[in-house]
A and B are shown apart, each in its own frame.
Chain A
Amino acid sequence: MSKNPEFVKFDKVDKSYDGKVLVVKDLQLDIAEGEFITMLGPSGSGKTTCLMMLAGFETPTNGEILLDGNIISNIPPHKRGIGMVFQNYALFPHMTVYENLAFPLRVRKMEKDDIDKKVDKALSMVSLNGFETRMPGQLSGGQQQRVAVARALVFDPAVVLMDEPLGALDKNLRESMQYEIKHIHESIGVTVVYVTHDQSEALTMSNRIAVFNDGKVQQLSNPSELYEKPVNSFVAEFIGENNTFDGEVSDISGDECKVKLSNGEIIASAISVKSKGEKTTVSLRPERALIEPSEKMDNMFSGKIEEVIYHGDHTRVRVNLLGNPEFILKVPNSTSNLELKVKEDIKIGWNSSDARALDPK
């Protein structure tokens, strides 16, 4: 079966609530069939609005949304056949788990036997068999979450939308639910559009991530590319940890450039800088900088240790480097036989390919 690469298509979608401010600006986004795509962004970035437009609870101010080639802007929510998991689950509190799951099937006028089978199948998918007669209020947060997922999937929708579904769970449960949802997605191959502001959630679950800010998609790529190769300083800042240097391009040759800082000069790869004299922010992941490197690296500097924080599996070292007192290093504890003492100087090195000269902040 060939997958449709434009199963869901946002075509030049604008959205404004008050006619003054655009919440979503010229959104162009294709979602392939069977894909797990995450819309990631800070609150107010327009990601939930996009989801609501897809679900049919909001209408685009301009542009069209297509589902499998059909324009759906004029189709009411209940005819779109899109499953949705809500932020606070939105389980019907007056119905049992069985009735909650049977609701979408009953409104589709299915036979009782078929409903029983489907509900049973959906419940076993989230390993909640035997909970049919419970009321949602008698379930724990994680169980409610699983019921909500099962309910969104029980009527075999083509697309399932999830609006920060794990936001209300505690950390451990959230992590295990991430894997559970990911596995469900893999096993049934449904298209999932997932909204979250938690970057680690997005990185672990998605095929592709769309980073939203200010109503626009800043970057759309798979998780590793997003983390390793952010295209602008917002994405670099928003995803993972990040060390930055603000400076000015002093020389540029092909992919590499030299950036002059207030006290020093570093070599970085030119991503969004074009010419000499441009202002830039250089971004470097903490784990890419090494302490006392054994081999030669493009950038080698020494800095003073300001703080050492023990984190269990790793140690974070804050160093004052090249005028940046907030430079962070991550040292894995297994390999760390180094004596790290506050106020001592250490040598730090990194390669120019890991330092990305992006747009200035």
Chain B
Amino acid sequence: MSSETKQILTTDGIPLEVSLKKAEKKNKIKAFLLVAPLLFFLFITYVFPIGEMFTRSVDDRMVTNMLPKTFKTMESWDGKELPPEEVFTAFYSDFKVLVENETQGKLGQRLNKEKNGFNTITKKLMRLIKRNKIDESQSIKEQIMKIHKRWANVEYWQAIKRTAPPYTMAKYLKGMDMYFAADGSIAQVDEDRRIHRILWLRTLEIALFVTIFCFLMGYPIAHLLATLPMKYSNLLMICVLLPFWTSLLVRTASWMILLQQQGVVNDFFVLIGLVADDNRPTMMYNKVGTYVAMTQILLPFMVLPLYSVMKTISPSLMRAGKSLGGTPFVAFWKVYFPLTIPGIGAGCLLVFILAIGYYITPALVGGASGTLISNQIAYHMKATLDWSFASAMGLMLLSGVLVIYWIYNKLVGVDNIKLG
């Protein structure tokens, strides 16, 4: 055992391990310096933005900073009945500062997201403050409650209290069509408003089917590539790689030309009498278009890992399988196929992960029924400017991918992946 073995010394009397470490140190430093720029680059472009995204997605300090006194007094409030006078007073003085800075609008919007109706009542309060209608010598609580009956509703004060912590998971819940109910518990939104869940499921479904289609089409191509003589396989390889050399946008646009109702494919169908001229099928702005275009675009990502694995499988293995009495199918299924599993794993993982976050193609050819979660993220980035929600959904997507990766690792083993 190791404890019993004597420490081996070099001829100079230095322990061998120490001597080895010393000798290797220089090489290690060199190696590290070589990858250092990449590590730095990765940190700037990957780790840092993801961290930033995460903070943004949970960041809820705006209200915390706007109503410091309110939250301080709220600490002693149990939240069951209407808060005591000092909470109202503190809220009033906080709000007055906001009115002076003219930033009370933001608070109204933020609180409105927490509970509908805040916008109206904060505006009313703001107008009264501006017109100096609040008598500070009287009970603030009475005066505020008189402004609107909502101010006398405990649920609104509970909503304010919920915004007290500087961090919130509300965006993540929203991404899953859920929200914090008045009592702080997690509830689902009404059934007709559950759009995100549909999008998530659709994204998974489309990514899954695109992966399957890519596999079904890519496997024979890769096999052909690996077994054809060099001069033909080179040509075929160029055909496979050709899409890579064309802009994604151009390729997607060309699919639009092909698939539209007056497009080439439909014209052909009409020509051969498959469909009637006045009954042309819709192949674009729906799932069909997304499937077709995404499969074509992601196909090389399936073919290349498969090809690199198949290239290493000796043709004599198939021959051995046949000479030992296996029919061509048995030889394929028992010998060839199991050996290609590392390539299948790599290709499927690659295509699935790319498909799950695909953006341009579904945005252009997907239409309403073919948009994916990434389009929703982009929508919140550009249209609603709700970056924290976009960040939250982006992170949910990322963690989904990590979960898939983890499952894959459990099933196949990441060490078995071969990307080439």
Nearest 3 interchain pairs by C-beta: A104-B324, A90-B320, A90-B316
A92 within 8 Å of B (CB atoms): yes
Interface string of B275-310 (1 = CB under 8 A from A): 000000000000000000000000000000000000
Q: Are A107 and B317 in contact (CB under 8 A)?
A: no
A94 within 8 Å of B (CB atoms): yes
Q: Are A81 and B314 in contact (CB under 8 A)?
A: no
Q: Are B323 and A92 in contact (CB under 8 A)?
A: no
Known: A92-B335, A93-B339, A94-B338. Contact between A78 and B327, CB under 8 A?
A: yes
Q: Are B324 and A107 in contact (CB under 8 A)?
A: yes
Q: Are B319 and A78 in contact (CB under 8 A)?
A: no
Question: What is the predominant secondary structure among interface residues of chain B facing chain A?
Answer: helix
Complex CA distance for A83 and B324, rounded to whole angstroms: 6
A301 within 8 Å of B (CB atoms): no
Least Cβ–Cβ distance between B323 and chain A, in angstroms: 4
Least Cβ–Cβ distance between A100 and chain B, in angstroms: 9
B325 within 8 Å of A (CB atoms): yes
- The one of B314, B321, B324, B328 that contacts A88, using a Cβ cutoff of 8 Å: B314
Least Cβ–Cβ distance between B290 and chain A, in angstroms: 37
Least Cβ–Cβ distance between A118 and chain B, in angstroms: 13
Least Cβ–Cβ distance between B295 and chain A, in angstroms: 29
Q: Are A86 and B319 in contact (CB under 8 A)?
A: yes
Contacts of A104 in B (CB 8 A): 324-326
Question: Which A221-258 residues sit within 8 Å CB-CB of chain B?
Answer: none
Q: Are A78 and B331 in contact (CB under 8 A)?
A: yes
Q: Are A81 and B325 in contact (CB under 8 A)?
A: yes
Q: Are A77 and B323 in contact (CB under 8 A)?
A: yes
Question: Which A71-117 residues sit within 8 Å CB-CB of chain B?
Answer: 76-84, 86-88, 90-94, 103-104, 107-108
Contacts of A79 in B (CB 8 A): 325
- Closest chain A residue to B326 by CB distance? A107
Q: Are B339 and A94 in contact (CB under 8 A)?
A: yes
Least Cβ–Cβ distance between B231 and chain A, in angstroms: 14
B334 within 8 Å of A (CB atoms): yes
Q: Are A88 and B316 in contact (CB under 8 A)?
A: yes
- Closest chain A residue to B324 by CB distance? A104
Contacts of B338 in A (CB 8 A): 94
- Closest chain A residue to B320 by CB distance? A90
Q: Are B319 and A77 in contact (CB under 8 A)?
A: yes
Contacts of B334 in A (CB 8 A): 92, 103
**Further contacts, 18 of them, CB under 8 A, given A77-B323, A82-B323, A84-B324:** A55-B323, A77-B322, A78-B322, A78-B323, A78-B325, A78-B327, A78-B331, A81-B325, A84-B319, A84-B320, A87-B316, A88-B316, A90-B317, A90-B319, A92-B320, A103-B326, A107-B327, A108-B325
B330 within 8 Å of A (CB atoms): yes
Contacts of B327 in A (CB 8 A): 78, 107
Known: A88-B314, A104-B324, A107-B326. Contact between A57 and B335, CB under 8 A?
A: no
Contacts of B316 in A (CB 8 A): 86-88, 90
Chain B contact patch, size range:
10 to 19
Q: How many residues does chain A have at the interface if contact means C-beta atoms less than 8 Å apart? A: 28
Least Cβ–Cβ distance between A190 and chain B, in angstroms: 15
Total A-B contacts with CB atoms under 8 angstroms apart = 68
Question: Which A109-168 residues sit within 8 Å CB-CB of chain B?
Answer: 151-152, 155, 161
Q: Are B323 and A84 in contact (CB under 8 A)?
A: yes
From A87, A90, A91, A161, residue with most partner B Cβ within 10 Å: A90
Interface residues of B (CB under 8 A from A): 314, 316-317, 319-328, 330-331, 334-335, 338-339
Least Cβ–Cβ distance between B179 and chain A, in angstroms: 51
Interface residues of A (CB under 8 A from B): 55-57, 76-84, 86-88, 90-94, 103-104, 107-108, 151-152, 155, 161
Contacts of B323 in A (CB 8 A): 55-56, 77-78, 80, 82-84, 161
Least Cβ–Cβ distance between B49 and chain A, in angstroms: 41
Q: Are B319 and A107 in contact (CB under 8 A)?
A: no
Contacts of A90 in B (CB 8 A): 314, 316-317, 319-320
Complex CA distance for A256 and B392, rounded to whole angstroms: 101
Between-chain CB contacts (< 8 Å), 20 pairs: A55-B319, A55-B323, A56-B322, A76-B322, A77-B319, A78-B324, A78-B326, A78-B331, A79-B325, A82-B323, A83-B323, A84-B320, A84-B324, A88-B316, A90-B316, A90-B319, A91-B320, A92-B321, A104-B326, A155-B325
Complex CA distance for A76 and B323, rounded to whole angstroms: 9
Complex CA distance for A90 and B326, rounded to whole angstroms: 14
Contacts of B319 in A (CB 8 A): 55, 57, 77, 84, 86, 90
From B320, B327, B330, B331, residue with most partner A Cβ within 10 Å: B320
Least Cβ–Cβ distance between B230 and chain A, in angstroms: 15
Q: Are B330 and A107 in contact (CB under 8 A)?
A: yes
From B319, B322, B324, B335, residue with most partner A Cβ within 10 Å: B324
Contacts of A83 in B (CB 8 A): 323-324
- Closest chain B residue to A92 by CB distance? B335
Complex CA distance for A151 and B335, rounded to whole angstroms: 15
Least Cβ–Cβ distance between B316 and chain A, in angstroms: 4
Complex CA distance for A55 and B321, rounded to whole angstroms: 12
Complex CA distance for A107 and B317, rounded to whole angstroms: 16
From B316, B323, B326, B327, residue with most partner A Cβ within 10 Å: B323
Known: A78-B327, A88-B316, A90-B316. Contact between A103 and B339, CB under 8 A?
A: no
Least Cβ–Cβ distance between B337 and chain A, in angstroms: 10
Complex CA distance for A155 and B326, rounded to whole angstroms: 12
Least Cβ–Cβ distance between A157 and chain B, in angstroms: 9
Complex CA distance for A86 and B322, rounded to whole angstroms: 12
Known: A78-B331, A86-B319, A107-B330. Contact between A155 and B324, CB under 8 A?
A: yes
Complex CA distance for A91 and B321, rounded to whole angstroms: 9
Contacts of A161 in B (CB 8 A): 323
- Closest chain B residue to A93 by CB distance? B339
Contacts of A57 in B (CB 8 A): 319, 322
- Closest chain A residue to B334 by CB distance? A103
Known: A78-B331, A94-B338, A103-B334. Contact between A86 and B326, CB under 8 A?
A: no
Complex CA distance for A78 and B321, rounded to whole angstroms: 8
Least Cβ–Cβ distance between A99 and chain B, in angstroms: 9
- Closest chain B residue to A108 by CB distance? B325
Q: Are A107 and B325 in contact (CB under 8 A)?
A: yes
Q: Are B322 and A92 in contact (CB under 8 A)?
A: no
Known: A83-B323, A90-B314, A90-B316. Contact between A78 and B328, CB under 8 A?
A: yes
Contacts of A94 in B (CB 8 A): 338-339
Least Cβ–Cβ distance between B288 and chain A, in angstroms: 39
Least Cβ–Cβ distance between A37 and chain B, in angstroms: 18
Complex CA distance for A81 and B323, rounded to whole angstroms: 7
Contacts of A76 in B (CB 8 A): 322, 328
